[in-house]
Amino acid sequence: MEGVYPFEPRHLLSGMRAARVGSFSEAAARYFLEMVEESLAPKPSPVRERTLRAAEEREARARALRAAAERIFANLHYYRELLREAEKLRREGRMSELGLIYSDVVEVDPGLRVVTVDVGGVRVRLRLGESPAAAASRLYEEAKSLEAKAARAREVAESSLTPRRPRVLRPRRRGAWYEQFLHFVSTEGFLVVGGRNAAQNEQLVRRYLRPDDLFLHAEVHGGPVVVVKTEGRSPGQATIIEAAQLAASYSRAWEAGFYSADVYWVYGRQVSKKAPSGEYLGRGAFMVYGSRNYVSVSLAVAVGLLLTAEGAEVVYGPPRAVAARSLAFVELAPGRLSRELVARKIVEFLRREAEQRGVSIKVTSEDVLPCLPRGGFYVVRKARGEAG
């Protein structure tokens, strides 16, 4: 038992040790400060280690799923041939013989029309009549879900060691409606907006797509809906190509390491959220009626710095559109460098370019990371923009 008294506590001295210190106010302040520090000291939770182990297991599983998805994307021709052979044998009543032809087949189910294959140690269910890319996309979705659960588990584990601090609420600037989405301004001056997830794809189609707007989507499962807001004008080929690059670069094609992709575009009046009779459209899904216009584009993204009267702003999108508005920019292609490393390199370059013009900017990796697709990167070039 320990305490601080402004007098000699004779009634407590039996069997206890006492010492004189400086002034009572100093001793009391030190005593209560130690109490507060002790109350705020990290206290390990008995479940913390189990939570961290669960997070590690989920992360390991997610890595395996992503590796399997990439392997399928890299060998689409092989898996298409496997499914064609499986369908042929099923019609002949000999589907069980598929494993004699393909050693990676571990199970077949003629009734459910499913073939289970071993892809780098991961069992993947391929459905007859479905593209192998759809199976790879499901693996990506499951990996993303596991990564989100692992991140949450780590937050919970760390919170058990971190003292609670009062929340500080700060006012947020109300921005334009499109700032929550992927967005850029084309070289022809058109606003181009894309969904970051299925919920935003749904919102774009339901709330913001007009009959004369352009609607674009990559021929890759799970890509963003991209809308060119025409506002009564007619976009040229330059805007269509730039919008198609956004649709392709922020799709799973980048994460899979593709260098080009096909993108189709139609008018907003050809797109509907109403499902055909007897069918159901999930969130982020849509129906496209009439003919489609296709373009093939390279996957490329640029991140640049735009100086305005209010300060500095990070802009991103197709390299040509970003170069037209930026003081300086970094052009990227799919590669092996991590998002975090590339974000730091971009920040260092933009700060250096701004300082050479006598401008001090407060740009961090947190400003750049939301501008980047998921996956790895290769730095194509660092350059001064047309506005520089």
Residue whose token pair is 């300086």: 328
Instruction: With beta carbons less than 8 A apart as the criterion, state whether 80 and 150 touch.
Output: no
Task: Compute the distance between CA of residue 138 and CA of residue 132 in angstroms, rounded to an integer.
Answer: 10
Q: Residue 267: what pLDDT?
A: 97
Instruction: With beta carbons less than 8 A apart as the criterion, state whether 303 and 358 touch.
Output: no
Segments making up each domain of the chain, as ranges: 48-158, 179-298, 301-384
Q: Residue 373: what pLDDT?
A: 95
Average the pLDDT over 80-91 and give the result. Answer: 93
Task: Compute the distance between CA of residue 267 and CA of residue 288 in angstroms, rounded to an integer.
Answer: 9
Task: Compute the distance between CA of residue 92 and CA of residue 46 in angstroms, rounded to an integer.
Answer: 59
Q: What is the pLDDT of residues 230-256, one digit of tens each?
A: 999 999 999 999 999 999 999 999 999
Higher pLDDT, 276 or 83: 83
Task: Compute the distance between CA of residue 292 and CA of residue 265 in angstroms, rounded to an integer.
Answer: 6
Model confidence band, residue 37 (pLDDT cutoffs 50, 70, 90): low
Instruction: With beta carbons less than 8 A apart as the criterion, state whether 226 and 247 touch.
Output: yes
SS3 7: coil
What's the chain's average pLDDT?
84
Instruction: With beta carbons less than 8 A apart as the criterion, state whether 115 and 108 touch.
Output: yes
Instruction: With beta carbons less than 8 A apart as the criterion, state whether 184 and 322 touch.
Output: yes
User: Residues with Cβ < 8 Å from 208, sequence gap 6 or more?
Assistant: 177, 193, 227, 229
Q: Residue 238: what pLDDT?
A: 96
Q: What is the pLDDT of residues 345-355, one digit of tens each?
A: 999 999 998 88
Lowest mean pLDDT among 118-132, 275-289, 366-380: 275-289
Lowest mean pLDDT among 112-121, 139-148, 167-176, 283-292: 167-176
Cα-flanking dihedrals φ and ψ of residue 378, to 5°? -130, 130
pLDDT at 227 over 70: yes
Strand intervals (E) in the chain = 105-109, 114-119, 122-127, 182-185, 191-194, 214-218, 226-229, 260-267, 271-272, 287-288, 293-298, 301-308, 311-317, 328-337, 377-384
Model confidence band, residue 169 (pLDDT cutoffs 50, 70, 90): very low
Q: What is the pLDDT of residues 183-217, one digit of tens each?
A: 999 999 999 999 999 999 999 999 999 999 999 99
- Token digits for 7? 């007098």
Task: Compute the distance between CA of residue 71 and CA of residue 120 in angstroms, rounded to an integer.
Answer: 8
Average the pLDDT over 49-72 and give the result. Answer: 89
Integer-rounded Cα Rg, in Å, for the chain is 29
